Amino acid sequence: MDQIKILLDRKELQLNSLLEITQAINNNVSEDSLYKIFNFTLRSNLNIQKLALFVLDRKWSCKINFGTRTDFRKLSLDELFKLVKKVHFLSELESTGKSLFNEFDIVIPISHHNETLAVVFIGGIDNLDQNINNDESVKFVQALSNIIIVAIENHKLSRQQLDQEAFRKELEIARNVQQFLFPTTLPRTDHLKIVASYLPHDLIGGDYYDYIPINRNQFLICVADVSGKGIPAALMMSNFQASLRTLLRSIPNLSEIMEALNTQVLDNTKGEKFITFFGAIYDISLKSLVYINCGHTPPILWDKKHGIRLLEDGTTVLGAMKPLPFIKEGFISDLDDFILFCYTDGLTETTNEMGEELGQQFLIDYITKNHFKDLNQIHEDIVVELDGFKGKNNYHDDITLLSCRVL
């Protein structure tokens, strides 16, 4: 009778422990607290002398360890144990398992949906049944471990879902930020037409283009590309655009504006990112164009008097060094009846299935032969040609086209 009472008391204690753990899980306690409950319950209810709990969290790590000579928190799990699908005596396994884990008697895998989530090593259980799969203590360890580990796994999944939702909202904000960078309307009159096309490689890119009226006679067009992509690139470009527009209202000189922007980019990124930029101010009454190219792919200028020219004068990329090592404004006078075609390097660096780049010469040849076409048609032709050229290859970068025609 005494033995039966002992067994009943143990069963009641185990049942109460499981109920307490279930209540703790329902109260959404932390993962650390669940591990502490697991540790305390096994040591108090079963008088286990040695234990090591390894949990798969991207990689295997030991979450609980007590009673052993070896500190298993510093060890990785042997590949052998990842394949264990049922309870085993350590003596049943190959010598690889014995060498590191010979302090324990048994190994218990914890699985969920046929995926091993954890492995429990135990030593020193009193009166262990040789048929360990029927041993009451082992069954209790399995039940407790499954409850705890599955609860922790659900914690991880909930956290991942929250992280994904937060990231989705961040992406949505960054996309909106990037859309605000682009002008909502572009001029399309008898004497001035500007057309832009943007092909993002990912959800959020690092390209930027703009048209900024300065006064009745002058306007600026620009195109830029920041190193890197994603949310940081979008935020960096947002800051860059705001600074450019502010500086343009107070400083009429492009060289001074570039010096100020270079300082700002370098201070904000500590030299870890840079921006290529091309900006040009056209004066309608003077028929003159002032421009600066900051390490950007050279825009193509066609006019009826000189044909094709590449606009390369300027300086190096913004944000790489301070001060800028050199700077030169390009100046073109007596300029009317022209087309200026700007783009980012995602266009010319697109490769075909043989690894060949589209290259700049294609654009020069196309503009030379088709400069008279409508700007929308020019963009459409180039995009169609590009799509056919790349074949099955994916685009590897954002692509921006910005064209300006003055008549």
Name the pLDDT band for 12 (thresholds 50, 70, 90): low
Domain count, the chain: 2
Answer whether residue 26 shows pLDDT above 70.
no
79 is a domain residue: yes
The residue that leads in pLDDT, 173 or 65, is 65
166 is a domain residue: no
Q: Which residues contact 401 (CB under 8 A, 6 or more apart)?
A: 195, 196, 197, 198, 341, 342, 343, 347, 379, 382, 383
Name the pLDDT band for 19 (thresholds 50, 70, 90): low
Amino acid code (one letter) for 117: L
Both structure tokens of 232: 């940081």
Answer whether residue 108 shows pLDDT above 80.
yes
Answer whether residue 2 shows pLDDT above 60.
no
Which whole number is the average pLDDT over 230-236?
75
Q: What is the pLDDT of residues 247-282, one digit of tens each?
A: 998 887 999 999 999 999 998 888 788 999 999 999
Closest CA to 321 of 275, 361, 381: 275
Name the pLDDT band for 178 (thresholds 50, 70, 90): low
- 153 and 186 housed in the same domain: no
The residue that leads in pLDDT, 301 or 250, is 301
Answer whether residue 329 shows pLDDT above 90.
yes
Answer whether residue 294 shows pLDDT above 80.
yes
Name the pLDDT band for 95 (thresholds 50, 70, 90): low
172 is a domain residue: no
Q: In the prediction, which pLDDT does 258 show?
A: 96
Answer whether residue 98 shows pLDDT above 90.
no
356 is a domain residue: yes
- 255 and 347 housed in the same domain: yes
37 is a domain residue: yes
Helix (H) or strand (E) holding 310: strand 307-310
Residue 293: beta bridge partners?
Answer: 278, 314
In the predicted model, what is the mean pLDDT of the chain? 84
174 is a domain residue: no
DSSP line for 198-238: EE-SSSS--EEEEEEE-SSSEEEEEEEEESS-HHHHHHHHH
- 231 and 366 housed in the same domain: yes
Q: In the prediction, which pLDDT does 261 show?
A: 95
- 230 and 367 housed in the same domain: yes
Lowest mean pLDDT, pick from 10-24, 33-47, 121-135, 381-395 = 10-24
Name the pLDDT band for 21 (thresholds 50, 70, 90): low
Alpha-carbon distance of 65 to 55, in angstroms, equals 12
Residue with tokens 């499954």: 146
- 121 and 206 housed in the same domain: no
Instruction: Count Cβ atoms within 10 A of the Cβ of residue 101 and give its class: 0-12 exposed, 13-18 middle, 19 or more buried.
Output: buried
Lowest mean pLDDT, pick from 188-197, 235-244, 290-299 = 235-244
- Contact status, residue 398 vs residue 234, Cβ threshold 8 Å: no
- 289 and 397 housed in the same domain: yes
- 274 and 239 housed in the same domain: yes
Which whole number is the average pLDDT over 220-246?
85
Find the DSSP H helices in 27-82: 31-45, 79-82
Predicted TM-score (pTM) of the model is 0.64
Indicate the SS3 state at residue 257: helix
Q: In the prediction, which pLDDT does 11 show?
A: 57
Which whole number is the average pLDDT over 83-99?
72
287 is a domain residue: yes
Burial 208-247 (b: 16+ CB within 10 A, else e): bbbbbeeeeebbbbbbbbbbebebbbbbbbbebbebbeeb
Alpha-carbon distance of 262 to 257, in angstroms, equals 9
Can you give the CATH number for the domain in which 113 is found? 3.30.450.40
Share of the chain above pLDDT 90, in %: 43
Closest CA to 291 of 221, 375, 209: 221
Indicate the SS3 state at residue 380: helix
Both structure tokens of 46: 């079963």
Answer whether residue 357 shows pLDDT above 90.
yes
176 is a domain residue: no
Can you give the CATH number for the domain in which 347 is found? 3.60.40.10
Q: What is the pLDDT of residues 53-82, one digit of tens each?
A: 998 877 888 998 988 988 998 887 877 777
Q: In the prediction, which pLDDT does 342 show?
A: 98
- 325 and 219 housed in the same domain: yes
The residue that leads in pLDDT, 176 or 195, is 195
* 69 phi-psi bin (left φ>0, alpha ψ -120 to 50, beta other): alpha
- 112 and 208 housed in the same domain: no
Answer whether residue 193 shows pLDDT above 90.
yes
- 155 and 187 housed in the same domain: no
- 194 and 147 housed in the same domain: no
Which residue range forms the structural domain that includes residue 306? 182-406
- 212 and 155 housed in the same domain: no
Alpha-carbon distance of 195 to 193, in angstroms, equals 7
Residue 299, preceding peptide bond in cis (omega within 30° of 0): no
Answer whether residue 296 shows pLDDT above 70.
yes
